[in-house]
Amino acid sequence: MEAALKRKFLAFNGSELDRVARRYLDLQARGYDTERFRKTFAPELAGFIENHLWGELSDEERDFLRHTRNEGDETLFHLFEPRILLRATYLKSSYRSPTMTPIEFEKWCAKMLRAAGWSTQETKATGDQGADVIATKGDLRLVVQCKFYSSPVGNKAVQEAFAAKTHYAATHAMVVTNASFTPAAQRLSTSTRVILVHADDLISVDRWIQRQDGV
């Protein structure tokens, strides 16, 4: 039950989650001890769940949450605080300058992956064999092409990421861009299983991988 609830909450995104995450950061900045922090934040967390997650839950999951709410806030925090903390970390560190260089964008992508709990290695500018960043977490190995473009990203990036997956013996391949993807690139990504992600969604890299793996 708890695992299913965590998965649903990890998949949630949107402006309301950002609002709650900013409130989380604001309370953290006040230096409250753990007990006071949770007592202050608990109503916001409960309200967010009821207003924005409730409709995605089964009757059994709703009953479980009602029970945990009556028992106290520890279970609620155990279930949902990691997602809020992940979003808060992203909000603190996700600023992207519109004038950054492609190399700076690669470094930004590596930083976002680390914020999501991955270990990263940036490849050399030449001879990278289609991967700008190699990221690992547990048994997962991800090769990432980073494209800081002013126009849609096409097939070539998908082809390069697919080749890099084989070259680096990776489990997954991804192309990340600040722009969009051409329809041809989207079609090719389906057959090659290369994940296409906008930079704003990179912090949720685990969700994209789980979606591809059917988890």
CB-based contact 131:161 (threshold 8 Å): yes
Q: Are strands 119-122 and 172-177 parallel, antiparallel or unpaired?
A: unpaired
pLDDT reported for residue 161: 96
pLDDT reported for residue 160: 94
Instruction: Give pTM, 2 decimals.
Output: 0.60
pLDDT reported for residue 73: 59
Q: How far apart are alpha carbons 158 and 166 in whole angstroms?
A: 13
CA angle centred on 104, ends 99 and 107, rounded to 5°: 145
- Across the chain, which has 215 residues, the per-10-residue mean pLDDT values are 74 75 80 82 81 83 76 68 78 74 92 89 70 94 95 95 95 95 96 93 87 80
**What torsion, rounded to 10 degrees, do the Cα atoms 12, 36, 47, 209 define?**
10
pLDDT reported for residue 212: 85
* Ordered structural domains, the chain, with CATH: 2-93 (no CATH), 102-213 (3.40.1350.10)
